[in-house]
Amino acid sequence: MNAMLYLSAIPAGLALTVMAIYLYMRSLNVLVDFSILNDCGRMIQMLLIIFVFFPLFDLGANHAVQYAFQPTPEAGYVWLEVGLFLVLPIVLLSFESNCSHRDRHYWACAAVVAGFIVDRLNVSINALQTAMGGHYVLKWTEVASSVLVIAAAVIAFRYAVIYLDILPKAKSTPPAHWIANGGPAAYA
């Protein structure tokens, strides 16, 4: 089980890195060669294709394949995880048009991260429900602390990019003048 966590965390970490770099390229005017992010997308796809076999082997080895097809919330979580973490990103990253388009590439990586989160919640909630013998619902403090940790990491990385020159800045072009200085509206 721990090996499956590590095998799923690697493509999710790469996808999160691609998402972070894309967002900083867009919002902080950072210059990064997009072909690097394309290569990361291809690596994510390859790792996800390899990872598909491990849950299948795990279900087969534990003689638990029939549980995935029962009409239970746990089986629904498994299929949501498979759809978000495996099927959707593998299909999206298979098309060159999605890999070469920055926004589509970003959303494919977002699906990987969302699927990884569903995977971890699936494992955690099912383990707690089995141990408690009841249903488990997250408290607001658990959600708030998770959001706080993620927000702190995003803010720390943002200030690191701004003040520590981690990523090179793109050359800024002056805004076009519409009325003054010979802009398009001056000739109308």
Q: Using one digit for the tens of pLDDT, what is the confidence trace for 40-76?
A: 889 999 999 998 888 888 888 888 888 888 888 778 8
Q: What is the DSSP string of 117-148?
A: HHHHHHHHHHHHHHHHSS-----HHHHHHHHH
pLDDT band at 11 (very low <50, low <70, confident <90, very high): very high
Structural domain boundaries of the chain?
2-137
Which pLDDT belongs to residue 43?
92
Of the listed ranges 6-15, 41-50, 81-90, 127-136, the one predicted with least confidence: 127-136
Please state the three-class secondary structure of 64-84 as a single string. Answer: CHHHHHCCCHHHHHHHHHHHH
Joined together, the tokens standing for residue 162 give 């701004």
In the predicted model, is pLDDT for residue 184 greater than 60? no
pLDDT at 161: 76
What average pLDDT does range 139-157 have in this prediction? Answer: 85
Task: Catalogue the E-assigned strands of 12-141.
Answer: none
pLDDT exceeds 70 at position 181? no
Instruction: Output DSSP code: residue 4.
Output: H
Name residue, tokens 């721990």. Answer: 2
- Residue of 46, 122, 57 lying closest to 83 (CA atoms): 122
d(CA 166, CA 30): 10
Average pLDDT, the chain: 81
Helix (H, G, I), strand (E, B) or coil at 28: coil
